[in-house]
Amino acid sequence: MGKNNKRIDSPDNINYTGANELEKILLLKALRIMLLARSIDNKAMNLLRQGRTFFHVAGSGHEAIQVAVGLSLQSKKDWFFPYYRDIALVLAIGVTPVEFFLQCFAKADDPASGGKQLSCHWSSRSLNLPTQSSPTGTQFLNAVGVALAGVKKGEKYITFVSSGEGTTSQGEFHEAINWASREKLPVLFLIENNKYAISVHVQQQSGGRDNSISAMMSGYENLYTARIDGTDFYESYSTVQEAIDHIEAGKGPALIEAEVVRLQSHSSSDDQKKYRDKDELEADLKKCPIEKLSKKLIAEGILSTEEYEDLKKETTEEINNAADAAYKAKDPIPEVADKFVYDESALKDSLEYEKSQFSGKTVVMVDAINHALDEEMEKNDKMYIFGEDIADAKGGVFAATKGLSSKYGNDRVFNSPLAEASIVGVATGMALAGLKPVIEIQFGDYIWPAFMQYKSEIASMRYRSNNEWSAPVVTRVAVGGYIHGGLYHSQNIESIFAHVPGIYIAYPSNAADAKGLLKTACRLNDPVIFCEHKGLYRQSFAVSPSPDSEYLIPFGKAKVVREGNDITVVSYGLSLWDSVFAAKKLEDEGYSVEVIDIRTIIPLDEETIFNSVRKTNKIIVIHEDTFTAGFGAEIAARIADNCFQFLDGPVKRIAAKDAHIPYSPFLENTILPTRELIYKRIKELIEY
Distance CA 182, CA 345 (A): 39
Closest CA to 91 of 24, 45, 35, 48: 35
- Write the CA distances from 601 to 118, 246, 541, 604, 623, integer angstroms: 31, 48, 22, 5, 12
- 357 band by pLDDT with thresholds 50, 70 and 90: confident
Reported as a single tens digit per residue, the pLDDT across 414-427 is: 999 999 999 999 99
pLDDT for 359 equals 78
- Our measurement of the distance from residue 357's CA atom to the centroid of its chain's CA atoms, rounded to an integer in Å, reads 37
Reported as a single tens digit per residue, the pLDDT across 135-175 is: 989 999 999 999 999 999 999 999 999 999 999 999 999 99
pLDDT for 14 equals 39
Catalytic residue among 56, 121, 489, 623: 489
Strand partners, 161: 81, 189
pLDDT for 115 equals 96
SS3 553: coil
Q: Quickly list DSSP for 608-677.
A: HHHHHHHHHS-EEEEEEEESTT-HHHHHHHHHHHHHGGG-SS--EEEEE-SS---SSHHHHHHHSPPHHH
* 660 catalytic residue (yes or no): no
Reported as a single tens digit per residue, the pLDDT across 6-54 is: 444 434 433 434 458 779 999 999 999 999 999 999 999 999 999 999 9
Answer whether 542's CB lies under 8 Å from 576's CB: no
Residue 2 confidence (pLDDT) above 80: no
- Write the CA distances from 243 to 41, 81, 160, 227, 563, integer angstroms: 29, 17, 11, 12, 67
Q: Give the pairing of strands 559-562 and 600-602.
A: unpaired
Closest CA to 476 of 430, 522, 513, 510: 522
Mean pLDDT estimate for the chain: 95
**What values do phi and psi take at 533, rounded to 5?**
-75, 115
Contacts of 436 (CB under 8 A, 6+ apart): 380, 382, 383, 384, 472, 474, 522
pLDDT for 653 equals 98
Largest CA distance in the chain: 100
Answer whether 16's CB lies under 8 Å from 89's CB: no
Q: What would the mean pLDDT of 518-525 be, rounded to a whole number? A: 98
Percent of the chain with pLDDT over 90: 95
Answer whether 71's CB lies under 8 Å from 4's CB: yes
Answer whether 56's CB lies under 8 Å from 1's CB: no
User: Which element (helix H / strand E) includes 436?
Assistant: strand 436-441
Q: What would the mean pLDDT of 210-220 be, rounded to a whole number? A: 94
Q: What would the mean pLDDT of 297-319 be, rounded to a whole number? A: 96
pLDDT for 3 equals 41
